[in-house]
Structure 1
Amino acid sequence: MRILVLNPNTTASMTAKIGAAARRAAAPGTEILALNPAHGPASIEGYYDEAISLAGLLGVIRDNPDVDGVVIACFDDTGLDAARCLTDKPVVGIGEAAYHMASMIANRFSVVTTLARSVPALEHNLHRYGLWARCARVRSSEVAVLELEEPGSDASTRISAEIARAIADDRAEAIVLGCAGMTDLAGRLSADHGIPVLDGVSCAVALCESLVRLGLRTSRLGGYAPVPPHKLA
């Protein structure tokens, strides 16, 4: 099995970190192809960044048709619907995957994300996925995405403090980390706080593998109908 794990931003160090997390989560025999577009935003923090990342994201998917599934490694689930129109292989967003898994192991979960400008998009997705009632709150740690790549940054300390507030104030029973760049923090933060802390990259890889093994593909009826050939030219 070969899974494309696609970071929609252009920061190669983040792509490498995401790829390493994906390989740790993958079952033996699963090959992880971790890529990012050559052009687009260095980070995705809000609606504008999402919009300008779409051409590069879809181009990477078009250029790699020989994979068995795709993981979109941006917590906003950037381009998820468009990607599902482009291929009938399973396409899993790390936000959607983490929300669903959190709802299976806790009554209430909170999301700890990066900047406040990202909160409305995540709240919108939770409503769309039918999981808003299970989410206590979407919290901003006010950590910029690229701070997660800076050696010596106090980003993890600030994220940990926000998790502590979520447990105390939201009565959260699990935490979803709301950025692919946080993927390497989940294990330590879970141990520090004594509750499940979910990394969307790992969740999405596991779900994508399951869909592939079950032989499930994206429906081509309705909204995910294939893109007409003349629009791909």
Structure 2
Amino acid sequence: MRITLINPNTSRAMTAKIAAAAREVAGPGVEIAAVCPETGPAAIESHVDEAFAAVAIVRLIEDDIAAGGSDAYVIACFGDPGLDAARELVDVPVIGIAEAAMHVATLSGRHFAVVTTLSRTLGRARDLLARYGMGEACVSLVGSGIPVLDLEDTASTSFERIAALAADEVAAGADVIVLGCAGMTDLCHALTARVGVPVVDGVGAAVGLAATMVRMRVGTSKRDEYAPPPRAAVTV
């Protein structure tokens, strides 16, 4: 089984980090192919960045299809950019890390809180909660004020800041913490130990769900909305 993990920003360091996390949960017989675009935003932190990210995701999936394709695709950005477009392109599973993390969180506890990066991304997170039917399960969305690229620095104070916010949300009633950025993936286990409740990383959640769907032979429905787009493939 081959799962292509798409980091839609151009950070190769972050791509390598999320690939390592994905391989931890993928299990035997699963190849993780981690890719990122050559050009575009270095981090996805605005609606403009997400627009560029969606285009990059379409391009990377079309390139992968031309090279033989994969058994599943994971979009490793918490805004789940380009998710619907990606699902139009293939009949295999396509999983966004926000959707995956939220679903896994609801299987782990009744209520979850999301700790993410910049507060300007909280509007997009609220949109996704509504879309995925998670509004009642999510008790809080918190922006840490940490830029995405600061998460590349393992010597930074990011862990302590995120841990403190997560602990506050647990004290306020969250049963589970969801990490709202793929760049936080390497903090997951240490945070679980620190705050005393399950901490869900969307990269691991998405890869686990994608692999399970492949084994179950459940792909993306081609009825109606996610049918192939009514045009020939184009270069974007």
8 Å Cα contact 2:10-2:41 kept in structure 1: yes
Displacement of 1:6:
0.5
Could you tell me which runs of 5 or more consecutive residues in structure 2 were left unpaired when the two chains were aligned. Answer: none
Displacement of 1:149:
0.8
Displacement of 1:152:
2.3
Name the structure 2 match of 1:150.
153
Displacement of 1:178:
0.3
Name the structure 2 match of 1:120.
123
Query: Which AA in structure 2 matches 1:69?
Result: A
Residues 53 and 143 (structure 1 numbering): CA distance in 2 closer, same or farther, change over 3 Å?
Answer: same
Name the structure 2 match of 1:23.
23
Q: Secondary structure at the match of 2:141?
A: strand
Name the structure 2 match of 1:111.
114
* RMSD of aligned residue pairs (Cα, Å): 1.0
Name the structure 1 match of 2:215.
213
Counterpart-to-counterpart distance in 1, 2:232 and 2:88: 14
Counterpart-to-counterpart distance in 2, 1:172 and 1:10: 33
1:21-65 alpha-carbon deviations (Å, 9 max, x no partner): 000010101000001011111000121110122222111111112
8 Å Cα contact 1:38-1:56 kept in structure 2: no
8 Å Cα contact 2:2-2:31 kept in structure 1: yes
Counterpart-to-counterpart distance in 2, 1:218 and 1:129: 17
Counterpart-to-counterpart distance in 2, 1:33 and 1:177: 22
Query: Which AA in structure 2 matches 1:121?
Result: R
Displacement of 1:105:
1.1
8 Å Cα contact 1:21-1:183 kept in structure 2: yes
Query: Which AA in structure 2 matches 1:230?
Result: A
8 Å Cα contact 2:178-2:199 kept in structure 1: yes
Displacement of 1:216:
1.1
8 Å Cα contact 2:23-2:32 kept in structure 1: yes
| Percent identity (aligned) | 48
Displacement of 1:229:
4.0
1:75-111 alpha-carbon deviations (Å, 9 max, x no partner): 1111101100111111000100000000011011000
Q: Secondary structure at the match of 1:34?
A: strand
TM-score, structure 2 length as denominator? 0.96
TM-score, structure 1 length as denominator? 0.97
Query: Where does 1:84-95 land on structure 2 (aligned, <5 Å)?
Result: 84-95=87-98
Name the structure 2 match of 1:39.
39
Name the structure 1 match of 2:193.
191
8 Å Cα contact 1:126-1:132 kept in structure 2: yes
Query: Which AA in structure 1 matches 2:26?
Result: A
Name the structure 2 match of 1:51.
51
Counterpart-to-counterpart distance in 2, 1:95 and 1:19: 17
Name the structure 2 match of 1:62.
62
Q: How many residues align?
A: 232
Query: Which AA in structure 2 matches 1:39?
Result: T
Could you tell me which runs of 5 or more consecutive residues in structure 1 were left unpaired when the two chains were aligned. Answer: none
Displacement of 1:150:
2.3
8 Å Cα contact 2:2-2:70 kept in structure 1: yes
